[in-house]
Amino acid sequence: MSESSEGVTPPYQTSAKADKKQETNSEPCILVGMPKIVETPQSVQAEIDKAKFTQEKLSRIVEAKRRIKTLKRGQLENSG
């Protein structure tokens, strides 16, 4: 007994209808086109350095804003 495979799409194949449905889907597919990420000691250290730099940069910005606020307060007190 031989079964006809016409009209039956195996799960690993896609039909034109399924492709069209996927194209109109508004949710992005995260796995498509994502590069494989390999962690090496150098890449881990680079991430640590980047995080430290970002933290230092943020602390400098906060300190600068604090100084500006202090200067403005001093100018208002001197002018009034």
Q: pLDDT tens, position by position, for the chain (80 residues)?
A: 445 555 555 555 555 555 555 555 555 555 666 677 778 889 899 999 999 999 999 999 999 999 999 999 999 888 86
Asked if residue 59 is part of any domain, the answer here is yes
What sign does the CA torsion over 18, 19, 22, 28 have? positive
Q: Give the number of domains in the chain.
A: 1
Asked if residue 41 is part of any domain, the answer here is no
Domain that residue 69 falls in? 49-80
Interatomic CA distance for residues 28 and 22, integer angstroms? 10
Asked if residue 75 is part of any domain, the answer here is yes
Asked if residue 13 is part of any domain, the answer here is no
Asked if residue 78 is part of any domain, the answer here is yes
Interatomic CA distance for residues 30 and 42, integer angstroms? 26
Asked if residue 25 is part of any domain, the answer here is no
Is the entire prediction scored with pTM above 0.75?
Answer: no
